[in-house]
């Protein structure tokens, strides 16, 4: 009797707990819309740690709230390192905000996953067609996101140093070739002044790898995935050209041109003269120019045979698919598309304004300005990262492959394994149809 | 006669009811006390385990427009062809095989040292325990700097040998990355197990030592025949906690090496986390966790069997 009571009680506790849990899950996924209560909309942004950029977002929201009386947008800022996790968690709980920003290469994944809704911003002050192509997030011919700025990859160097060692300063009309670049590095190494003459941020983590190194891979003739249908990486990521790129990358380490793992702050090392040539983002241009003045050389990417290449797409604004007040969200998006905000954004972040009209008002980016070359890089060299929902997976595989190659793995094996894993992922996910 | 039997019978019934009532009340109290623990166990152990089991046979993804489908054993066949998984298993086993004896042994030595009745012994107890109360993330970050090519360890090495020994990038070299992680982990964790050993040492009655002294036992004999048998229960506890802790190796790897270089430090938990979150493959990560659960369970059962009370 006693035993039966106890067993019954234990069982009922278990059942009660399980029911509560299931009920909890059910309520979590029951609601189909979120992100707004009535005409008050929630907006999420990743730049909690970046006050200059955050202030621009705050300003747009304040102006929007003051410009009309129907909608009200409320801001919630997250630190960048937790932002994507927060969005994924919110999406699983059906608690996405109405408006959110998204890193460019993630747009296809989030669009496919049903996080984002296509938007219609026709009739806003700045038409989409005015923007740099890399600043508009498209997936399957629909617009899901747009950014106010973009960034560019570039080599920074000191003119005086290059001249001293008899190295030609390249231009967009005549960029460095692979042989020229290699012999320049050899020359710099021989001088004994630089432990590692080339700095490419090899100590960084995460998205920097595909952002910084896949353009070089593309310039060699390879790519992360066969972009025709995005059905396979084999033969592209581990093809002849790609292996050649990886072998070259590894040779930089073995010849002592490049640190296997660079220091904590590569930009500081460059400015301190520890490295001679720095493969970096345009976001450091203003800082470098302030420190080096006229001595700063902004150098286009090396042409490894298939033209100089840089990555495209930075953070962009989007609207969630579960937003309960899409009209309000669209109104905010349209309102934000004014040249003055493109200008504010570019000034605050020190990056490339997405439109020519805005560029004319940003110091250094006017036609002929010292940084206007970045706009030309973005227009002529930019390749967006593969527009496929598989991108986050491809990115992690590529990161691992590059890290392994730098550490001494066989280039063909490392790329072959990555290509095999990516193909397997594509296959098991039914090529991200659906 | 009949009345008497009836009366007795009634009496017995009453008494039985009373004891049953008391028993019932007692079991209700017991139940009430067990409930919080049982609920927590169900919510945080049983339910996740059941979910892991269920998920590992589906194609569930972290981000997906379609609901999960049943795919049978696909995740497991894929897992057993995954070279990284075998490297993770090997590294985890390597870590556990070195850390368990090393950390347990070192902790015992420290415990014996600080068990001495000397002034200032509390100071040393505190010093050895300090790393334990420091967050593992902080410790890992600090040691990452120490291990750098231009870090403190290499500077000290160079200074001590008058520049004859050129240190290396300890975490950047596949040959030294795991030993470096092991050294740091032992340093961080040894204090905790020292305290456990110390508690065990202090349960051994002083009379036993006195008797041993009277019998003319040497220090070695005393340790062999008094201390060691006296630490039986403590030993089991230390062994099992270090083993489980070693198998769960994750924080250090995530902060210091992310599994690199060349997979020399990837572990099962780290791979499950990377696969499940960064690569968005929930079901595959569930399969990794399930296989891992079975392995840890097996090892624990074997340990339990080997350390069972023999009498």
Closest CA to A328 of A97, A9, A83, A48: A97
Per-residue pLDDT, B131: 87
Question: What would the mean pLDDT of B75-81 be, rounded to a whole number?
Answer: 89
Is the Cβ of A152 closer than 8 Å to some Cβ of chain B?
A: no
A47 to chain B, closest Cα gap in Å: 20
Q: What is the ipTM of this complex?
A: 0.77
Alpha carbon distance A410, A401 (integer Å): 10
B83 and B212 both lie in a single domain:
yes
**Which is higher by pLDDT, B283 or B14?**
B283
Domain over A153-311+390-432 is classified CATH 3.40.190.10: yes
B90 and B172 both lie in a single domain:
yes
Please answer yes or no on whether B38 and A10 come within 8 Å at the CB atom: yes
The answer, yes or no, to whether residue A207 has pLDDT greater than 80, is yes
Tens of pLDDT, residue by residue over A89-140, are 888 888 899 999 999 898 988 998 889 999 988 888 888 888 988 899 999 8
DSSP A174-200: SPPBHHHHHHHHHHHHHHTS-SSSEE-
Per-residue pLDDT, A4: 52
B242 and B109 both lie in a single domain:
yes
A221: left (phi over 0), alpha (psi -120 to 50) or beta: left
Per-residue pLDDT, B9: 52
Cross-chain CB nearest to B262 (options A17, A109, A407): A407
- The answer to whether residue B120 sits within a structural domain is yes
The answer, yes or no, to whether residue B7 has pLDDT greater than 80, is no
- Could you tell me the residue range of the domain that residue B296 belongs to? 79-306
B109 and B206 both lie in a single domain:
yes
B19 and B137 both lie in a single domain:
no
Please answer yes or no on whether A260 and B174 come within 8 Å at the CB atom: no
- The answer to whether residue B169 sits within a structural domain is yes
Q: Which CATH number does the domain housing residue B107 bear?
A: 1.10.3720.10
Per-residue pLDDT, A170: 92
Per-residue pLDDT, A415: 93
- Average pLDDT along chain B: 85
- The answer to whether residue B70 sits within a structural domain is no
Is the Cβ of A408 closer than 8 Å to some Cβ of chain B?
A: yes
Please answer yes or no on whether B258 and A404 come within 8 Å at the CB atom: no
Alpha carbon distance A260, B199 (integer Å): 47
B152 and B281 both lie in a single domain:
yes
Contact A420, A397 (CB under 8 A): no
B15 and B108 both lie in a single domain:
no
Tens of pLDDT, residue by residue over A259-279, are 888 888 899 999 998 999 999
The residue whose two tokens read 């396979």 is A232
- How much of chain A, in percent, has pLDDT values that exceed 90? 43
Q: Give A26's pLDDT tier (boundaries 50, 70, 90).
A: very low
B164 and B284 both lie in a single domain:
yes
The answer, yes or no, to whether residue A160 has pLDDT greater than 80, is yes
Instruction: Give the bridge partners for A48, in sequence order.
Output: none
Alpha carbon distance A87, A89 (integer Å): 5
Is the Cβ of A434 closer than 8 Å to some Cβ of chain B?
A: yes
B10 and B100 both lie in a single domain:
no
**Which is higher by pLDDT, A316 or B60?**
A316
Domains A36-149+314-379 and A153-311+390-432 share a fold: yes
Question: What would the mean pLDDT of A328-336 be, rounded to a whole number?
Answer: 91
Of B55, B71, B98, the residue at which a domain comes to its end is B55
B129 and B17 both lie in a single domain:
no
B124 phi, psi to nearest 5 deg: -70, -40
Closest CA to A318 of A91, A162, A39, A151: A91
- The answer to whether residue B193 sits within a structural domain is yes
Tens of pLDDT, residue by residue over B152-163, are 888 888 888 887
Contact A44, A99 (CB under 8 A): yes
Alpha helices (H) in B42-175, listed in sequence order? 47-55, 74-79, 83-114, 121-133, 136-146, 152-160
The answer, yes or no, to whether residue A27 has pLDDT greater than 60, is no
The answer, yes or no, to whether residue B1 has pLDDT greater than 50, is no
| The two three-digit tokens of residue B225, written as one number | 């025949």
B148 and B264 both lie in a single domain:
yes
Give the 3-state secondary structure of A138-174.
EECCEEEEECCEECCEEEEEEHHHHHHCCCCCCCCCC
Question: What would the mean pLDDT of B296-310 be, rounded to a whole number?
Answer: 84
Q: Contacts of residue A85 in chain B, CB cutoff 8 Å? A: 277
Q: What share of chain A is helix, strand, coil (3-state, %, to 5)?
A: 50, 15, 35
Name the pTM for this structure.
0.82
The answer, yes or no, to whether residue A24 has pLDDT greater than 50, is no
Closest CA to A215 of A302, A102, A314: A302
What is the domain partition of chain A in residue ranges? 36-149+314-379, 153-311+390-432
CATH architecture of A36-149+314-379: 3-Layer(aba) Sandwich (3.40)
The count of structural domains within chain B is 2
Alpha carbon distance A378, A308 (integer Å): 11
- The answer to whether residue B61 sits within a structural domain is no
B166 and B32 both lie in a single domain:
no
- The answer to whether residue B73 sits within a structural domain is no
Contact A303, A177 (CB under 8 A): yes
Q: Give B259's pLDDT tier (boundaries 50, 70, 90).
A: confident
Buried b (16+ CB within 10 A) or exposed e, B109-133: ebbeebbeeeeeeeeebeebbebbe
- The answer to whether residue B178 sits within a structural domain is yes
DSSP A216-269: HHHHHT--SS-TTTS---TTTTSSHHHHHHHHHHHHHHHTTSB-SS--S-HHHH
Question: What would the mean pLDDT of B2-28 be, rounded to a whole number?
Answer: 66
């Amino acid at each position: 009797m006693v035993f039966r009571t106890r067993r019954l009680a234990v069982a009922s506790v278990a059942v009660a707990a399980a029911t509560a849990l299931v009920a909890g899950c059910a309520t979590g996924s029951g609601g189909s819309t979120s992100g707004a209560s009535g005409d008050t909309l929630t907006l999420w942004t990743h730049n909690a740690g970046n006050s200059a950029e955050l202030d621009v977002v705050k300003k747009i929201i304040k102006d929007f709230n003051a410009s009309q009386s129907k909608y009200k947008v409320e801001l919630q800022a997250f630190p960048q390192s937790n932002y994507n996790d927060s969005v994924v968690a919110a999406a699983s709980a059906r608690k996405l905000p109405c408006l959110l920003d998204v890193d460019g290469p993630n747009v296809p994944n989030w669009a496919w996953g049903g996080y984002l809704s296509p938007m219609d911003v026709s009739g806003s002050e700045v038409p989409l067609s005015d923007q740099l192509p890399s600043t508009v997030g498209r997936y399957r011919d629909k617009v899901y996101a747009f950014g106010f700025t973009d960034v560019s990859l570039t080599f920074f160097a000191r003119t005086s140093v290059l001249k001293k060692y008899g190295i030609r300063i390249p231009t967009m009309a005549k960029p460095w070739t692979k042989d020229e670049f290699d012999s320049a590095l050899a020359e710099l190494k021989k001088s004994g002044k630089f432990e590692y003459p080339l700095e490419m941020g090899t100590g960084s983590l995460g998205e920097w790898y595909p952002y910084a190194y896949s353009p070089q891979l593309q310039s060699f003739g390879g790519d992360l995935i066969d972009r025709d249908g995005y059905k396979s990486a084999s033969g592209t990521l581990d093809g002849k050209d790609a292996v050649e790129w990886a072998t070259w990358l590894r040779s930089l380490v073995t010849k002592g041109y490049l640190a296997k793992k660079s220091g904590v702050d590569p930009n500081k090392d460059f400015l301190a003269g520890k490295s001679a040539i720095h493969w970096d983002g345009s976001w450091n241009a203003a800082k470098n120019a302030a420190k080096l003045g006229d001595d700063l050389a902004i150098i286009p990417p090396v042409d490894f045979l298939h033209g100089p290449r840089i990555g495209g797409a930075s953070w962009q604004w989007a609207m969630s698919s579960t937003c309960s007040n899409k009209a309000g969200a669209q109104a905010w998006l349209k309102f934000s598309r004014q040249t003055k905000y493109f200008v504010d954004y570019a000034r605050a972040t020190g990056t490339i304004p997405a439109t020519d009209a805005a560029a004319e008002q940003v110091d250094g980016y006017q036609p002929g300005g010292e940084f206007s070359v970045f706009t030309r890089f973005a227009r002529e060299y930019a390749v967006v990262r593969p527009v496929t929902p598989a991108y986050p997976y491809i990115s992690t595989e590529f990161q691992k492959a590059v890290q392994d190659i730098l550490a001494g793995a066989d280039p063909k094996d490392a790329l072959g394994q990555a290509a095999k894993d990516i193909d397997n992922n594509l296959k098991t996910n039914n090529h991200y149809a659906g | 006669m009949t009345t008497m039997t009836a009366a007795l019978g009634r009496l017995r019934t009453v008494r039985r009811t009373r004891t049953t009532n008391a028993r019932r009340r007692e079991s209700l109290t017991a139940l009430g006390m067990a409930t919080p623990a049982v609920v927590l166990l169900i919510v945080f152990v049983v339910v996740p385990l059941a979910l892991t089991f269920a998920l590992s046979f589906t194609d569930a993804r972290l981000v997906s427009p379609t609901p999960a489908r049943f795919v049978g054993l696909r995740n497991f066949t894929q897992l057993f062809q995954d070279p990284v998984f075998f490297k993770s298993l090997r590294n985890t086993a390597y870590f556990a095989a070195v850390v368990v004896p090393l950390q347990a042994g070192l902790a015992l030595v420290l415990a014996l040292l600080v068990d001495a009745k000397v002034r200032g012994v509390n100071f040393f107890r505190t010093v050895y325990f300090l790393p334990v109360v420091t967050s593992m993330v902080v410790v890992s970050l600090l040691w990452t700097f120490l291990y750098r090519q231009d870090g403190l360890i290499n500077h000290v090495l160079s200074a001590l040998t008058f520049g004859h020994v050129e240190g290396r990038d300890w975490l950047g070299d596949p040959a030294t990355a795991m030993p470096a992680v092991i050294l740091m982990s032992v340093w961080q964790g040894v204090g905790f197990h020292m305290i456990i050993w110390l508690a065990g040492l202090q349960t051994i009655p002083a009379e036993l030592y006195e008797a041993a002294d009277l019998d003319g036992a040497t220090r070695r004999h005393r340790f062999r025949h008094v201390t060691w048998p006296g630490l039986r229960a403590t030993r089991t506890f230390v062994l099992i906690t270090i083993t489980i802790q070693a198998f769960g190796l994750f924080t250090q790897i995530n902060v210091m090496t992310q599994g690199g270089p060349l997979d020399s430090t990837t572990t099962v938990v780290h791979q499950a986390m990377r696969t499940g979150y960064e690569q968005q493959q929930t079901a595959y990560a569930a399969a990794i966790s399930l296989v891992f659960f079975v392995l840890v369970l097996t090892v624990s059962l074997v340990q339990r069997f080997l350390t069972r009370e023999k009498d």
